[in-house]
Structure 1
Amino acid sequence: MYALARLLFITALSMARSNTSEPSSEENKRIVGGSDVPENEHIPYQVSMQYKTDEGLRHFCGGSIITPNRILTAAHCCDGLNTTRMSVLAGVRNLDDRHGVRSKVLSCTIHPDYKILVTSDIAVLSIDPPLKYSKFRIAPISVEGKEFVGDNVPVTLTGWGRRLPISIPLLDILNYPNSLQRMSYHTISNKQCRESGMEKVTDTEICARGIFRGSCSGDSGGPLVTRTSKGVHQVGIVSYGLSICGLSITPDVYTRVSTFSDWIQSEITK
């Protein structure tokens, strides 16, 4: 229980997007300002990171498939936690889907420069058994390339995070989704991000903002993607934001994937 208590502490301290509440079975839940991914559609690169507690397995972070045995996520999603109690669930839209594929987390490699709320909030999970790709349910996301993403780029976030801007204990049973959520908005420049309250944002991070929409608790580690001429490409990893999610004046901060391209490739080839 120490690891889970630490996860709760980090969440409260850093206002990072870590979900330690057990998912509910209620329908029609959403990322703040988002909506359910349709039943006949899958986000094949999305995984749910889950933690074994006394009450069972709990979703607490997101991640993305980059190879059959490697998952990209945020460093704060495993910093100080017991990896032997972690697993990833792939190939699902709904967390109750019995057709999902579960793999154990063997290790979590955190970037050596990681400092909470400062820089390098990125990690690579090693999992077993390796995932078997399928046409629709399980597939990797492209993360290669060092192109700098500027402002006003359309981006899309997916995850199982909280749908209300703040946590209301009496409504938590209605607040955490089982169905995967999707929401789109636009990046802003790092200068705009700093002027909007995120004063410590560096070029290793990317910001996005929309009107009453954004990432929230439980979306941490999840993929921010954009569509290019070559297909869907991951540009960010959910890192942190203010405690009240989805306010148009407060941007979400993501780890900038392109900055860490060489490090990611080195972890893939180990």
Structure 2
Amino acid sequence: MSAIARLLFLAALSIPCCIVHSSNMRRIVGGAMVPENEQVPYQVSLQFQTKRGIRHYCGGSIIAPNRILTAAHCCKDMNVTLITVLAGVRNLDDRHGFRSKALKCAAHPDYQMLVTSDIAVLSIDPPLKYNSLTIAPISVIGKEFVPGNVSVTITGWGRMFPIPLNFIQSLTIPNTMRRINYHTITNKKCYEMGKTRVTDTEICAHGLFKGVCSGDSGGPLVMKSSKGLHQVGIVSYGWIICGLSIAPDVYTRVSTFSDWIQEQLKK
């Protein structure tokens, strides 16, 4: 089965989530557009070459000039040569962004879809050129366990409506980056709210009628600390109908994989 066919098949499943990777995935439910005068310099768009052109399908974050942190399900078993990374943009139509080609996808060896270790590091070329405004890395160093009730922010180009509405795509899949501010919840509460597969390698967040959706996979969940912004999660999975008040979003817990990430940066 081709990579695209596999993605479309997974997207059609009713159980796993609204975050399943697909070339037809799009854009954050209940969020707000990132203002024109603001930048999210660590956020990138993972794009896949199809017969209809290059399409956004997942998010990612910059952790080194030639390394992108994302979800394993965004690149494992795919034809990496068809993946590119677009950095330095707020709008996907912006021609002033910096585009690099993916060379390799290093997915965590323990990765199991919807179970654990949904994390990968993409090697890219040419390396990104940092600047003080639009392209910069996010901190991922540290093993501090993030508890519940911590204010966090997620950004991306995920679908804005809980279910696909192909007849009004222009209203549900805008190209401008959006964001959500909400809070983490404890893994115990996440389990009680229906995420019975959640493990200590994951972190959950929840908000009223807001959440990540198709196209947000692999994107960075960040929090503010005394040292600045720090990435604490990677979008992994949720419900097939996004943004339900009863359904938390599940993220890969970055602190659990701190050592592994550092190993990938040295390769």
What is residue 20 of structure 1 aligned with on the other side?
Answer: 23
Aligned: 1:268 with 2:260:
no
Q: What letter matches 2:12 in structure 1?
A: A
* TM superposition score normalised by structure 2: 0.96
**Aligned counterpart, 1:158:** 155
Matched, 1:223 2:226: no
Distance in 2, matches of 1:131 and 1:64, equals: 12
Which residue is equivalent to 2:194?
A: 197
Cα distance in 2 between the residues matched to 1:224 and 1:233: 9
Letter aligned with residue 17 of structure 2: M
Following superposition, the deviation at residue 174 of structure 1 comes to: 2.3
Give, in angstroms, the shift of residue 86 of structure 1.
0.3
CA contact (8 A) 1:21 1:176 kept: no
Correspondence for 2:61 among 59, 64, 67: 64
Is 2:178 the counterpart of 1:176? no
Structure 1 counterpart SS, 2:256: helix
* SS in structure 2 at match of 1:133: coil
CA contact (8 A) 1:63 1:71 kept: yes
Matched, 1:54 2:68: no
Q: Is the 8 A contact 2:139 2:230 kept in 1?
A: yes
Q: Distance in 2 between matches of 1:177 and 1:141?
A: 25
**Residue of 76, 79, 85 corresponding to 1:79:** 76
- Which structure 2 residues correspond to residues 109-258 of structure 1 after superposition, within 5 A? 109-258=106-255
Distance 1:259 1:16 in 2: 24
Shift, 1:172, TM fit? 2.6
Q: Which runs of 5+ in 2 are unaligned?
A: none
Matches of 2:199 and 2:189, distance apart in 1: 12
Q: Say whether the 8 Å CA contact 1:239–1:253 is kept in structure 2.
A: yes
Amino acid at match of 2:153: T
| Paired amino acid for 1:101 | F
Aligned pairs, number: 264
Q: Give the Cα separation in 2 of the matches to 1:205 and 1:75.
A: 14
SS at match of 2:10: helix
Distance 1:67 1:143 in 2: 11
> Cα offset for 1:11?
2.5
**CA distance in structure 1 between the aligned counterparts of 2:156 and 2:129, rounded to whole angstroms:** 21
Q: For residues 57 and 99 of structure 2, what CA distance do their matches in structure 1 show?
A: 15
> Does 1:45 find its partner at 2:47?
no
Instruction: Find the aligned partners of 1:267 and 1:239 in 2 and give their Cα distance.
Output: 20
CA deviations 1:212-234 (Å, max 9, x no partner) are 00000000000000000000000
Shift of 1:167: 1.1
Cα distance, 1:22–1:186 mapped onto 2, change above 3 Å: closer
SS of the residue aligned with 2:148? coil
Q: Which residue of 2 aligns with 1:97?
A: 94
Q: Secondary structure at the match of 1:49?
A: strand
Give the residue type in structure 1 aligned to 2:241.
I
Provide runs of 4+ in structure 1 moved above 6 Å: none
In structure 2, what is the equivalent of residue 6 of structure 1? 6
SS of aligned partner of 1:235? strand
173-182 or 137-146, which deviates more = 173-182
- Structure 1 CA distance, aligned partners of 2:209 and 2:142? 31
Whichever residue aligns with residue 162 of structure 2, its letter is P
Q: Is the 8 A contact 1:19 1:59 kept in 2?
A: no
Percent identity over paired residues = 67
Please say if residues 19 and 161 of structure 1, whose CA atoms lie closer than 8 Å, have aligned partners that are also in contact: no
Mapped to 1, the partners of 2:62 and 2:151 lie a distance apart of 21
Q: Is the 8 A contact 1:16 1:239 kept in 2?
A: no
CA distance in 2, matches of 1:181, 1:55: 25
Q: CA RMSD in A?
A: 1.3
Give the Cα separation in 2 of the matches to 1:42 and 1:5.
34
Is 1:7–1:81's contact at 8 Å kept on the other side of the alignment?
no
